[in-house]
């Protein structure tokens, strides 16, 4: 079974940085079209934060452009988060999109809390 395990979440003050990691197992990089990060804050819908395909092209939500950077090494995806604000507080979920049928796999999530 495909499993995605996130790490790196925590509590930081506004203006500080965090680096999230997600390790995908049970799947080959050749079976992946893209990997990314989503987040869900209390009372809000889950939203795409950033994604990256095998060619290295990345997409970002407008709210994080210039502050967050997504990168990938084989089936591990990272999210470098700089200049964090309380608005970034959420549970961050790793996502892996498989080729062919376009099936999505999800991690369990890691909590990011930014204090003012």
Residue-wise pLDDT for 46-70, tens only, equals 999 999 998 999 999 999 999 999 9
Give the per-residue pLDDT at 100.
81
Band (pLDDT 50/70/90 cuts) for residue 101 is: confident
Mean pLDDT of 14-34: 96
What's the CA gap between 116 and 106, in Å, rounded?
30
Task: Identify the sign of the CA torsion 39, 91, 19, 3.
Answer: negative
Give the per-residue pLDDT at 62.
98
Q: Is the pLDDT of residue 102 over 90?
A: no
Beta bridge mates, 40: 91
What integer best gives the mean pLDDT of the chain? 96
Mean pLDDT of 19-27: 96
Give the per-residue pLDDT at 77.
97
């Amino acid at each position: 079974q495909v499993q995605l395990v996130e790490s790196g979440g925590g509590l930081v003050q506004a203006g500080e940085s965090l680096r999230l990691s997600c390790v995908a197992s049970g799947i080959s990089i050749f079976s992946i079209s893209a990997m990314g990060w989503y987040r869900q804050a209390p009372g809000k819908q889950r939203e795409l934060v950033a994604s990256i395909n095998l060619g290295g092209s990345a997409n970002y939500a407008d709210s994080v452009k210039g502050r967050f950077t997504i990168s990938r090494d084989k089936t591990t995806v990272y999210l470098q988060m700089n200049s964090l604000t309380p608005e970034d507080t959420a549970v961050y979920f790793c996502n892996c999109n498989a080729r062919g049928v376009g099936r999505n796999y999800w991690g369990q999530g890691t909590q990011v809390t930014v204090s003012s």
